[in-house]
Amino acid sequence: MSAKSNAIIKQLKSLGTAKNLAGMARFGIATDKAFGVPHPALHAIAKQHCKDHALALELWDSGYHEARLLAAFIDDPKQVTKAQMDAWVGEFHSWDICDTVTGHLFEPTPYAFDKAYQWTRSKREFVRRAGLAMMAWLAVHRKREPEETFLGFFPAIEAVADDERNFVKKASSWALRQLGKRSKFLNKQAVASAKRIARTAEQSGSAIGARAARWVAADVLREITSDKVQARLL
């Protein structure tokens, strides 16, 4: 590792607190290689190293939680490769790393749609979550994309809506809710998708999978059919 990355890791260690570590643990974030650095401090450091691809790779390779968050903030999406994306996603072990990397770094790349589909089909918990998170971020950030571009997300989400693992289940809901809040057109598609998930759950022979699918459908419909969302889409 370079002197610059070593200095940053030393700085991260000095900024961490036991209180922040405890807070991370309460939110289900793995803390075995974490310092407990608050996000405002990470953003302050990131501003000093914007678009430094080489540094981002070194920070990621350190394995430290906050160093990996920082890598997502400072890396350059234009220099990110498919190989890097697959390598990093294979090392996701925490929901905040997953959501931060996909939202800040991977979504702006030209490969985001392809990876969203690919990763959602994975059996691995955080790889699948990464695919679903990417779908959520794309629905929010890609303002100029034609609405029809997102139609393929619905069958992809429906295919995994019976995954009972907590971080996947919540990501399925998140992706479908973001699609349903994007436009009136996609809202109708998302409502229909959630109803299909609920209907399939009733016909399922798996009690666990059916329970997860029912939760996803109910969570999605509760928000995207609400008066607040419907009024905003008018």
Residues 6+ apart with CB under 8 A from 80: 53, 105, 106, 109
pLDDT value for 203: 81
Q: Where in the chain is the domain with CATH 1.25.10?
A: 83-234
Asked whether the whole model's pTM tops 0.85, one would answer: yes
Nearest by Cα to 4 from 43, 62, 80, 78: 62
Model confidence at 206, in pLDDT bands (50, 70, 90)? low
| Other Cβ atoms within 10 Å of 141 Cβ, number | 13
- Exposed (0-12), middle (13-18) or buried (19+): which is 29, by Cβ within 10 Å? middle
With contact defined as beta carbons under 8 Å apart, do 154 and 179 qualify? yes
Half-sphere exposure of 143 (CA within 13 A, CB side): 0
- Say which CATH topology domain 83-234 has: Leucine-rich Repeat Variant (1.25.10)
Rounded Cα–Cα distance for residues 56 and 46 (Å)? 10
106, 112 in Cβ contact below 8 A?
yes
% of the chain exceeding 70 in pLDDT: 98
Least confident of 107-111, 181-185, 202-206: 202-206
